[in-house]
A and B are shown apart, each in its own frame.
Chain A
Amino acid sequence: MRSPVAAAIAIGVGLVVLLGYFIPSIGDTSPALRDLLALRIYFIDWAVTLAAFATLVAILALVGTHWRKLRARRAPDRYSFFALAGFLGVFLFGIFAYTFSGNVNGFQIVVNSLQVPIEASLMAVLAVTLTLATMRLFQRRSGLLPLVFAGSVLVFLILNSGLLASVDIEPVRFLLPVLQTLPVAGGRGILLGIALGSIMAGLRILIGAERPYSG
């Protein structure tokens, strides 16, 4: 059994924020409506501040997890040492840069020069992984859809490579814009579905049918 107080607070705050989003078009001359808008801004500001502290708490919990993994008696995770050393190094360097030296740009350059190559290498691994996954697609799925997927991947790889841009043949010139409209149309269709799903998910939480919080 959950506390109805937490649900009531969540529903009340949710309604104020939602109504505040729609009110400007109805009219902002009434003092009551102005108060409601002000309240909405207060709520959002509190949420932003809380989110910042939550991130800090979660990062400290992450450090705690790595510390526990490093000190585990059974199969300690040696790689956690590098995570902790990296965190400590960046943290101390950041404090020094922001409070004592004032050389914030230098700090950003050092951090980025470490972070960007690591992320780029992961991106390279991802490219290989995805190529292999696409090749294995026909082992996992049967039917027409994998053929359509693989065909569209090939067609749009050729189209976006620019190979056909210089071709001056009437059917190609006619077909290129038509083909390039297809992914936009498909993408919009999916996004419309996601927007409707978001509305329904929000409403389920707003009426308390789903409560992704304790209390």
Chain B
Amino acid sequence: MNWLEPILGLTLVLLAASLMFFFSLPQRSQGRGQRRARPRFAFRPIRAMQRLHRAIGLAVEDGSRLHLSIGKSSIIGPNNASALVGLSTLERIGMLSSLSDRPPVATTGDGTLALLSQDTLRAAYRIANVPDQYDPAQARLTGPTPFSYIAGTLPVIHDERISANILVGNFGPEVGLLIDASNREGAFSLAASDALAAQAVLYAAAAEPLIGEELFAVPAYLQSSAIHQASLRVQDVLRWLVILALIVGALLAFLGLL
């Protein structure tokens, strides 16, 4: 079976890439040719994301700060996809709130992620034509171990006039302490993790938890481009294919054919 796994993996990646290219085509030609206004939410509406858009707008208006915590997974570790999603979210939030008097602050629990989040914020401000707003202290490593990361992030939530806490990345169940701090400060909290234990905690504690693969849709919901819409459609198609494969496999096993 070992020889089959990489071939299946390669097939899945190629299938996903081809479908993403295919689904992004009509959107592009529509944009060039007819120039029709695209609806703001072409995606399935997620209440948490609608509230996040509102929270970003409110933070810019009332001069409060947004806090984005992007977890503790290493960029060279197996959970790095959630870290990359966190970085993409940070870039978009940096651009959306570039007009704010108080720029957003990012906290991480990993050194590489801290440097990348500084780099991402710098890129976001440069794209938004406000490079002077960039301050490296806005993106910090708050602690290199899971609990020191949480302990170092708590003062940021309490002391820096945060109106919304966005937790997107790899967290353990200790993320409950961050959500509790956010609730105590009366701040909005949106949280998503790729770890099952953290998802259970977030469902119980966070105002707006995102469950499962919704984590990976966050950058797409903040940056509605053709390729993002296509990638979410492909994710849906692949999910149905996996469900079908599971049902067929179970039936075959039940009938004794597998």
Interface string of B192-204 (1 = CB under 8 A from A): 0010100101011
B180 touches A129 (CB 8 A): yes
The residue from A23, A68, A203, A204 contacting B137, defined by CB atoms under 8 A apart: A68
The residue from B20, B150, B207 contacting A200, defined by CB atoms under 8 A apart: B20
A contacts with B: majority SS: helix
A133 touches B75 (CB 8 A): no
Flag whether B171 is at the interface (Cβ < 8 A).
Answer: no
| Closest A residue, CB atoms, query B141 | A58
Q: A65-B140, A122-B151, A134-B204 are in contact. Are A207 and B212 (CB under 8 A)?
A: no
The residue from A56, A192, A214 contacting B120, defined by CB atoms under 8 A apart: A214
Q: A51-B74, A57-B115, A62-B140 are in contact. Are A200 and B216 (CB under 8 A)?
A: yes
B123 touches A214 (CB 8 A): yes
B contacts with A: majority SS: helix
Once the chains are docked, how many angstroms separate the CA of A47 from the CA of B112?
A: 10
B226 to chain A, nearest CB (A): 9
Once the chains are docked, how many angstroms separate the CA of A130 from the CA of B202?
A: 10
Once the chains are docked, how many angstroms separate the CA of A68 from the CA of B137?
A: 10
Once the chains are docked, how many angstroms separate the CA of A19 from the CA of B119?
A: 27
Flag whether A100 is at the interface (Cβ < 8 A).
Answer: no
By a CB distance below 8 angstroms, the chain B residues around A126 are 173-174, 176-177
By a CB distance below 8 angstroms, the chain B residues around A123 are 147, 174
Flag whether A137 is at the interface (Cβ < 8 A).
Answer: yes
The residue from B173, B179, B216 contacting A198, defined by CB atoms under 8 A apart: B216
By a CB distance below 8 angstroms, the chain B residues around A47 are 75-76
Flag whether A89 is at the interface (Cβ < 8 A).
Answer: no
A191 touches B196 (CB 8 A): yes
B85 touches A201 (CB 8 A): yes
Interface range, B side? 35 or more
A140 touches B227 (CB 8 A): no
**Using a CB–CB distance below 8 Å, which chain A residues touch chain B?**
1-2, 18, 21-26, 44, 47-48, 50-51, 54-59, 61-62, 65, 68, 77, 79, 115, 118-119, 122-123, 125-126, 129-130, 133-134, 137, 140, 149, 187, 189-194, 196-205, 207, 209-215
Given contacts A118-B147, A122-B177, A200-B231, 13 further A-B contacts (CB under 8 A): A51-B76, A54-B114, A58-B112, A125-B177, A134-B204, A190-B211, A200-B216, A203-B16, A210-B88, A213-B119, A213-B123, A214-B122, A214-B126
Q: 21 A-B pairs, CB-CB below 8 angstroms?
A: A22-B10, A47-B75, A55-B112, A55-B144, A58-B111, A68-B137, A123-B174, A130-B201, A130-B204, A134-B204, A196-B235, A197-B215, A201-B81, A201-B84, A201-B216, A202-B84, A207-B227, A211-B91, A212-B88, A213-B120, A214-B126
**Using a CB–CB distance below 8 Å, which chain B residues touch chain A?**
2-7, 9-10, 12-13, 16-17, 20, 74-76, 81-82, 84-85, 87-88, 90-91, 110-112, 114-116, 119-120, 122-123, 126-127, 136-137, 140-145, 147, 150-152, 155, 159, 173-174, 176-177, 179-180, 194, 196, 199, 201, 203-205, 207, 211-213, 215-217, 219, 225, 227-228, 231-232, 234-235, 238-239, 242
